[in-house]
Amino acid sequence: MRKIMASLDIGDHTIKLVVGEIVKGKLNVLACVDTLARGIKKGFIVNPESAIEALEEIFKKAEDQIGLSVRKVIVSVPSNGIECFLSEGYTSITNEEKIITSNDIIRSLQSAVYNKIMDNRDLVSILPTKFLVDDSIVSDSPLSMHAEKLKVKAVVVTVPKKNITPIVKCLEKINVEVVDVTVGALGDYYEFKNNKNSGEVGAVINIGASKTTVAIFNKGIITNCEVIDIGGDNIDYDLSYVYKINQKDAIMLKETIALADKNIAQVNEAIIVENKNGDKIKINQFNVSEIVMSRLEEILNLAKKQINLLTKKQISYIIVTGGVTEIAEFKNILDYVFKNAILGEVNEIGARHNKYATALGLIKYYDSRLKLRNRDFSIFSIEEQEELSGIHKKVNISENSILGKLFGYFFDN
């Protein structure tokens, strides 16, 4: 079975949908689309009717790209009010061979969250830190090991139900099944995960349109996360206010002429726009960049302060990504504020823009959860996979059960 998955990142400015296939541990992008968000504020559904229209639009765009309807997705939900806590669970190995199966792993994880989540909250992830086989042998992947008992130590991640329910309901209205929900910070981390940072303590920052998310990871496990209500929109408001122009022109200035570093901006490079009074005004690159740089410096310093509030541990890496980091010369302001931070740049062919970091990483995250269970999964049936490949012969296949939400609402029995 081909491992084809889809992820949906609902942002304030745009909604992103990525369909990708995992081949030999690498993500190949099959479809990558976005559309302007409507009915959404700071990642929350505020107008279901408008949000449903935007969602229908983006799924239609994906279908136009690959020729198949996407009806199953992994979804990122707002991190506001996130809580991460340590927990333990265990299960007895009951099969005659006393060999740990994927079902045993799931039962141990179920035990770790049983009766530990408040009624007004929902589980978005359970991240095992280690497994103990018969209370003595420590393993990251105990599958197929001999044992009488399996114990797990894990970080449980929850958010308020209000972060999830409206999104799921809107997707149900358009006949799209949510197979997993999680927070965007996990997607950001998995997009830039490597052998080095998976063993260290670090921070991942995503600067979006209306908010900036700061998350702390310890050996690949999220331990804390905070949302700061400031982002790229604030730059647009600044430009709009200073030059008395509409927001559309402010965005155009930010994306076409502004630099994140005023020190290399040119006074003689300019653009003419019409202000709200109908007057033609000439705006040079230096002046625009000065405004942009000032706001970016504020955002990064707020994120820097938040890192210090979220952890007292020594930070080994800081990764900064998100759509706002596409502003020209962003690396310069990043170096100025953090000195040693990494600009997380998306490199997948077909999705080379940092606004897709979360959606791409969500697929990698979900694949890692499947590997833990030794399961395969695809949003498309085998017949649909053959159609995607241009194969049109008849095949006989057994009926496969659809995996429910991996570590969220539902567990396989």
329-383: pLDDT as tens digits: 999 999 999 988 999 999 999 999 999 999 999 999 999 998 887 788 888 888 8
- DSSP letter, residue 279: -
Has residue 179 been placed in a domain?
no
What percent of the chain stands above pLDDT 90?
84
Q: Which band of pLDDT confidence, cut at 50, 70 and 90, is reported for residue 399?
A: very low
- pLDDT average, residue stretch 127-131: 94
Residue 339 domain-assigned (yes or no): yes
Which domain, by its residues, includes 200? Answer: 196-343
The helix (run of H) or strand (run of E) holding residue 233 is helix 232-243
The predicted model gives 118-144 an average pLDDT of 91
pLDDT at 138: 85
Mark whether 212 and 282 lie in a shared domain: yes
Last residue of a domain, one of 343, 377, 405: 343
CA distance 369 to 126: 10
Residues 336, 203 share a domain: yes
What is each CA distance from 346 to 147, 194, 316, in whole angstroms? 42, 14, 21
**Same domain, yes or no: 264 and 324:** yes
Residue 120 shares a structural domain with residue 218: no
Domain final position from 325, 343, 361: 343
Element (H, E) at 6: strand 3-10
Where do the H-state alpha helices sit in 280-322?
Answer: 285-310
Query: Can you give the CATH number for the domain in which 99 is found?
Result: 3.30.1490.110
Average pLDDT for 234-263: 96
On whether residue 148 sits in a domain, the answer given is yes
- Residues 114 and 213 occupy one common structural domain: no
Specify if 29 maps to a domain.
no
pLDDT of residue 107: 94
Q: Is the pLDDT of residue 397 over 60?
A: no
209 and 99 together in one domain: no
Neighbours of 381 (CB within 10 A): 13
Please say if the pLDDT value at position 30 is more than 80.
yes
The amino acid sitting at 366 is Y
Q: What is the pLDDT of residue 390?
A: 65
Given a cut of 60, is residue 42 above it in pLDDT?
yes
Instruction: Answer with the one of 298, 318, 343 that is the final residue of a domain.
Output: 343
The whole-angstrom separation of Cα 211 and Cα 207 is: 6
Q: Is the pLDDT of residue 170 over 80?
A: yes
The pLDDT value recorded for residue 402 is 33
Between CA 201 and CA 180 the distance in angstroms is: 26
**Judgement on whether residues 260 and 319 belong to the same structural domain of the protein:** yes
Residue 177 in tokens = 């099944």
* Residue 139 belongs to some domain of the structure: yes
CB-CB neighbours of 281 under 10 Å: 14
226, 228, 287 from 231: Cα distances, Å: 14, 8, 20
Instruction: Please check whether residues 207 and 272 belong to one and the same domain.
Output: yes
Q: What average pLDDT does this structure show over 88-110?
A: 93
Co-location of 324 and 214 in the same domain: yes
User: Is residue 151 in a domain?
Assistant: yes
Tell whether 117 and 200 lie within a shared domain.
no
Tens digit of each residue's pLDDT (9 = 90 or more) over 180-193: 999 999 999 999 99
Stated pTM of the model: 0.90
Pair 213, 338 in one domain: yes
Give the pLDDT confidence of 11-28 residue by residue, as tens digits.
888 999 999 999 998 999
Q: CATH number for the domain including 339?
A: 3.30.420.40
Computed over every residue of the chain, the mean pLDDT equals 91
Residue 403 has pLDDT above 90, yes or no: no
Residues 138 and 236 in one domain: no
The tally of domains found in the chain comes to: 2
Residue 90 neighbours by CB under 8 Å, 6+ apart: 108, 111, 149, 150, 151, 152
- CA distance readout (Å), 322 to 49, 82, 155, 187, 242: 27, 20, 25, 11, 25
What pLDDT score was predicted for residue 339? Answer: 87
Average pLDDT over residues 265-281: 95
Q: Is residue 34 part of a domain?
A: no
Residue 403: DSSP 8-state: P
Q: Give domain status of residue 96, yes or no.
A: yes
Find the DSSP H helices in 47-148.
Answer: 48-66, 102-113
What are the helix (H) ranges across 114-258? Answer: 165-173, 184-191, 232-243, 247-256
Q: For the chain, what is the radius of gyration of the CA atoms?
A: 23
